[in-house]
A and B are shown apart, each in its own frame.
Chain A
């Protein structure tokens, strides 16, 4: 679960930037960027895992031979974080993009007429107004990272105490017939998933209420 938290935090900054650009700016290659960020959502997770494995393999683009030093990713905790981040990235970006798109751009323009530069408009108008949607994006990204299995198992393996995630631990417990552990892990997964999705639902209903009130 710790890796899922780290992955969610790691996704936040580039995810926010890309979501904001996709929501607010028109630029060359926007559709290509949007497609690339969504790709991990539609590809089989094992395909993403294999792609990452090729990338970080000794002869890969980010491998030892090309870089001249070893990033020491494969089968390490770093591999778990990377796999979880890549897999949760699309859902975070898509939800955050909708959150930014829901902010009335005319409110941002009002900010500019009041003397606010673009940065201040973003920090004092866009971000607070999109905050509920962004929290929802983080929670959904977190649950996606928590449930990650396919890509992680290929890039990071399933080493207890090192690269084992909730999903892979549950898989191992079930495979080895340890029903008690499997049930406990299932309980944790259900509880965390329920809390995250329920919170997201609540935030979404508050958001639509606010939209109605402010036109």
Chain B
């Protein structure tokens, strides 16, 4: 860890009604996810980070800046914390138009020595807000409002972006449209981000580290794939949409299918996916359900399924009532996780180090963006 800068150093103890918050987290990953059932204290945790709630004892240091230290009676008020907060219900100012909302944090951006016009230009470009600038808030759709809310937070020149279930108020179709903007934000703005979500896929794609909250305590911390595939979380995560998620580049297009390259190293690993609106060369995120992948000991012949990847089992583990096979195709591609029955493990002698073939249908691949 030498040389790696700590971004978050948080320890909090507080009681809000029946919720007792008691957690510690220290990490150097830029994007931190917070996962938990409702009532676990996710939003309260975020509000404590924002300084909107007072805590009994604790410390909050973000990117070297101390915002709270109850031992030295240090409490930096919300307006001085340089945060951007995006709530799930957008909370745009109804008496201002879109541009007015984006300019709401202009004074702080200027105070911190930022060039507001260049931030505004970048935000408008990244979130595609140009056609909306003159509109009033009641003329916007749910997805547009959430984009403006993201833009408003970014325009204020924050040092930390707090996203409180930014997609939760949107329907599935709208969520798919807005999700790519969150990915763009992560890539375009070099900001520490804390994102609260009850959707494992969102956290898988966005976060480097995830904190699992249960009754106000962080019961687990780790990488999203590792945590959601663990025996204590797998069932809950799967119910909420936890799947294999990969990103790749479109390298071929036809009316029937697109070809996605998952890795160009080690001899172009490609899969066929249903046709997308994306163009050749676009980065696309796809997901494949764990139960939609078959495991074979030999390369199958005469099958209609178009995708067959050679892989090596890295581990076989029990996740609650289910069995999971983790398999690595190549180092540059995240591990595939395949759900199998115990019978299959016994019959095929599936164990770590075994060479296998992963087979799945084109139609079992879902595009998450594009």
Using a CB–CB cutoff of 8 Å, the interface residues on chain A facing chain B are 104, 106-107, 109-117, 120, 124-125, 128-129, 210, 213-215
Known A-B contacts A128-B95, A213-B138; A114 and B52 likewise in contact (beta carbons under 8 Å): no
Q: Contact at A110–B95, with CB atoms within 8 Å?
A: no
Which B56-86 residues have C-beta < 8 A from chain A?
77-85
A110 and B91 in contact (CB under 8 A), knowing A115-B82, A116-B79? Answer: yes
Contacts of A106 in B (CB 8 A): 87, 91
Question: Is B108 located at the chain interface by the 8 A CB criterion?
Answer: yes
Tell me the minimal C-beta distance from B62 to chain A in angstroms. Answer: 14
Cα of A213 to Cα of B84 in the assembled complex, Å: 24
Instruction: Report whether B95 and A113 are in contact in the complex, using a CB–CB cutoff of 8 Å.
Output: no
Chain A residues whose C-beta falls within 8 Å of the C-beta of B108 in the assembled complex: 114-116
Q: How far is the CA of A107 from the CA of B52 in the complex (A)?
A: 12
Assess the B79–A117 pair: CB atoms within 8 A. yes
Within the complex, which residue of A110, A128, A129 is in contact with B85, where a contact is CB–CB below 8 Å? A110
Which B residues are in CB contact (< 8 Å) with A129?
93-95
Is the Cβ of B93 less than 8 Å from the Cβ of A113? Answer: no
Q: Are B94 and A125 in contact (CB under 8 A)?
A: no
Given contacts A114-B108, A114-B152, A115-B105, contact A214 B138 (CB under 8 A): yes
Q: Which of A107, A120, A213 meets B93, CB within 8 Å?
A: A107
Please give, as numbers and ranges, the residues of chain A lying within 8 Å of B138 by CB-CB distance. 213-214
Chain B residues proximal to chain A, CB less than 8 Å: 50, 52, 77-85, 87, 89, 91-95, 104-105, 107-109, 111, 137-138, 152-153, 156, 162
On whether the beta carbons of A215 and B156 are closer than 8 Å, the reply is no
CB-CB under 8 A for A111 and B104, given A117-B79, A214-B137: yes
Which chain B residues lie closer than 8 Å to A213 at the CB level?
A: 94, 138
Question: Of A104, A116, A125, A129, which is in contact with the most chain B CB atoms at under 10 Å from its CB?
Answer: A116
Query: Given the known A-B contacts A117-B79, A210-B94, are A109 and B111 also in contact in the complex, defined by CB atoms under 8 Å?
Result: no
Across the A-B interface, give the 3 residue pairs with the lowest CB-CB distance, nearest first: A115-B108, A114-B105, A113-B85
Q: Which residues of B contact A110 (CB under 8 A)?
A: 85, 87, 91, 93
Which of chain B's residues have a CB closer than 8 A to the CB of A116?
79, 104-105, 107-108
A114 and B91 within 8 A (CB): no
Q: Give the interface centre of B78, B108, B156 by most chain A CB atoms within 10 Å.
A: B78
Shortest distance between the CB of B157 and any CB in chain A (Å): 9
Cross-chain contact B50 with A113 (CB below 8 angstroms): yes
Write the chain B residue with the least CB distance to A104: B91
Inside 8 A of A107's CB, which chain B residues have their CB? 91, 93
Which residues of chain B have C-beta atoms less than 8 A from A215's C-beta? 89
Of A110, A115, A120, chain B has the most CB atoms within 10 Å of the CB of A115
- In the complex the two chains form, is A214's CB within 8 Å of B85's CB? no
Chain A residues in 8 Å Cβ range of B156: 114-115
Interface centre among A104, A109, A112 (most CB of B within 10 A): A112
